[in-house]
Chains A and B, each alone.
Chain A
Amino acid sequence: MVAVFLKDLRLILRDRSALVLAMVVPIIVISLIAGALLDNADRTRLLLPVVDEDEGPVATAFTKLLSEHADVRTMDRAEAERLVRDENDAAAALVFPEGLSRAYLRGDTGGIELLTDPAQAHALQAMRVLLLLMDQEAQALADPLSEDLIVVEKTSLTGSREEVDSFDENVPGFALLFVLIVVVFGTSMALHDERDWGTLPRLLVAPAGFTWMLLGKLGARFLLGLAQMLLLFLWAHWFFGVSLGPSPVALVVLSSAMVFTTVAVGLLVAGFAKTREQTQPLSLAVVMLISLLGGLWFPPEFVPEWMRELQPAVYTSWAMRGMNDLVLRDRGLEAIQGAVTVLFGYGVVTLVIGIRLFRARHSAR
């Protein structure tokens, strides 16, 4: 027993890089999660675009009250709609329509318009709480709402649905996370399998050439990852009623882009890792980091500002953005063009770097 213990210890200590990775990766991941969840000081207040078409005392009073709890920015309706519908930077915008104050002063019922993006369910929920708070504080000031003189009318700007349940909200993130795990680990380990089986030297002298051999291997992983991702969505659709969006083609295109880039990331990991022992912690680190930074774990409003600023640099955030457009906002192919372009671009660059790295390590030199 002691002999085996000492031998295993010696083997573990011999691969220093694997050891360092195994120790450092959990520390980095835990620190990032802590940063995401505990960094309250850095967390931005809820962005609330306000359209003041009323320009009367009611709108002014409400805006002042809301400013105490949210990042209220007054703008015109077009800009507010753009922030909610196109940029998805705000979960909702509040519109005080023209004549609201006059109606109120006359004692007539008036309405406040809430333009929403139901896909941002958590932020929208927070917004509702904010409006309730505003209601209470307004009552304390002038009691305007107690007589139901002002009602809130919700309009969804981003899709046919007014509400998104938590299952709908979580499925895209978790689907992407599982595909990420399977594809990154599968791709990187598959390349090391060839080395362990001794087949790599033979593949390297095949007339087809090294790059085609690699692309063939990656192609198989891509197909498997794509099938897994689509199956996951189909399962969620049939058994739990999760929307797949209005366009099956868009779902396939976006899934393809996501899986393609993830396969390329797997190749990059295999290129960096010299041994199987290094591959595992490195794959884990990559999966954890890009899923966390990409917003697969938490909605954007849960993470601090610095993390949100990093998100556009992480391809998974684009995949998430596209998935939310399809699944939660019921948008079609045109809505995901940007995300798909970024994903494929990211994938091609990663693939080229990965091939070069892998070639440098294994090809004829």
Chain B
Amino acid sequence: MPAALVTKNLRRSYDEREAVRGISLEVAEGEIFGLLGPNGAGKTTTLSMISTRIWPTSGDAWVFGKHVVRDVHAARRLLNVAPQEEALYPDLTGQENLEFFARLWGVPSADRPARVEEALEAVELSGRRHDPVRAYSGGMRRRLNLGCALVSAPRLILLDEPTVGVDPQSRVHIFQAVRKLREQGVTILYTTHYLQEAEDLCDRIAIMDEGQVVALGTLSELLGLSQATEVIELRFAEPLQAEASLAALAGVQRVESSGSLVRLFASHAEPVLAAVCGGGVVEQPIVQIRVTPVSLETIFIELTGKELRD
């Protein structure tokens, strides 16, 4: 498949601070590619460079072979973006907003009504098309925001945290719209800090932290990065003093502690649990035990040493 998006050593600095530090990606046509990272990881800055909103300090990016700086207008015609912040005219109706953005992206007037109709259906707002946007709920606005990115029928759509602050019903609508786009062969670059979204929607995921990609692959490839297969969470009544004794147990790959919570990354949980519960390893009482398979969250924590929070 041809590459829908290629970035090479993309960097962006703001004064002294380097927000993006050499991102290199290749996204295939028709792929849903997730950029996963905590707030401030550089996801939006990366997206802004690809969308031509800001220029890279150095490095290159191509959208279907069109350079985002040197061939900016051609690149813009191939993509559209749903920004993290709502970008809508509150006094216009939903339909009028879509018509405006269709016109702005050069959709021929003959095709415009059909495109607007498709976008309204995709985000399930047909019934409210004539209402002014200021009368919409927050979730409806986010859906219309997505609709405005779809209306030009772009080959690459950049979705910047499309579900932040969205009610569960609207979140489902947005997921449905994204899946439908994939069926149509549209390439999607999807930034999120929700692990579940990345796991459910994305074909491949790049984990970003502090302006860099720290891991990239399919979900199973990323899960395979960990030597552990299971994670044992032990919660103590008070912060644990004897981490070293847990780390020394056979089968434990790594130990992390945060306050009274200790995580043991193990190849197999059962013998480790038997040793911990058998006594003699830790003297403090355990108040809760939880065993989970290794997840994207585990990988993220392993790679960055940070937790993702909503």
Contacts and interface: CB of A to CB of B under 8 A. Distances in A.
A5 interface: no
Contacts of B104: 203, 206, 208, 213
A10 B69 CA distance: 41
A131 to B, nearest CB: 61
Contact of A197 (B79, B81, B89): B89
B73 interface: yes
B11 to A, nearest CB: 15
Interface stretch (B51-59, B179-187, B252-260): B51-59
A194 B106 CA distance: 20
Nearest to B73: A207
Q: Which of A198, A206, A213 has the most CB of B within 10 A?
A: A206
B193 to A, nearest CB: 20
Interface string B69-94: 10011001101010101111110000
A365 to B, nearest CB: 6
A53 to B, nearest CB: 69
A14 interface: no
SS of B interface (majority):
loop
Contact of B88 (A197, A204, A206, A209): A197
B146 to A, nearest CB: 12
B101 interface: yes
B175 interface: no
A166 interface: no
B105 interface: yes
B148 interface: yes
B89 A202 contact: no
Given A197-B87, A198-B88, A204 B77 contact: no
Interface string A322-365: 00000000000000000000000000000000000000000011
Given A201-B87, A202-B148, A207 B106 contact: yes
Contacts of A209: 73
A246 B83 CA distance: 54
Given A198-B87, A205-B81, A364 B106 contact: no
Given A207-B77, A364-B53, A201 B83 contact: yes
Contact of B87 (A199, A213, A365): A199
A198 B55 contact: no
Nearest to B50: A205
A205 B76 contact: yes
Contact of A199 (B55, B76, B77, B88): B88
A205 B152 CA distance: 13
- Chain B interface residue bracket vs A: 20 to 34
A154 to B, nearest CB: 57
Nearest to A208: B104
Given A199-B87, A199-B88, A204 B73 contact: no
Given A201-B83, A203-B104, A205-B81, A365 B52 contact: no
Contacts of B69: 364
Given A209-B73, A364-B72, A204 B53 contact: yes
A307 B180 CA distance: 68
Contacts of A364: 52-55, 69, 72
B244 to A, nearest CB: 50
A206 B54 CA distance: 13
Interface in B38-61: 48, 51-55
Contacts of A205: 51-53, 76, 79, 81
Contacts of A199: 87-89
Nearest to A201: B83
A365 B55 contact: yes
Contacts of B81: 201-202, 205
A201 B69 CA distance: 16
A197 B69 CA distance: 26
Nearest to A199: B87
Contacts of B73: 207, 209
Contacts of B79: 205
A205 B47 CA distance: 12
A197 B132 CA distance: 14
A197 B91 CA distance: 10
A279 B76 CA distance: 31
Nearest to A204: B53
A21 to B, nearest CB: 26
7 A-B pairs with the lowest CB-CB distances in the bound complex, closest first? A202-B87, A198-B85, A207-B76, A198-B87, A207-B77, A206-B104, A199-B87
22 contacts: A197-B87, A197-B89, A197-B90, A198-B83, A198-B86, A198-B88, A199-B87, A199-B89, A201-B87, A202-B83, A202-B87, A202-B148, A203-B104, A205-B52, A205-B79, A206-B76, A207-B73, A208-B106, A213-B104, A364-B52, A364-B54, A364-B55
Given A200-B87, A201-B87, A203-B104, 16 more contacts: A197-B89, A198-B86, A201-B48, A202-B81, A202-B83, A202-B101, A205-B81, A206-B104, A207-B73, A207-B105, A207-B106, A208-B104, A209-B73, A364-B54, A364-B55, A365-B55
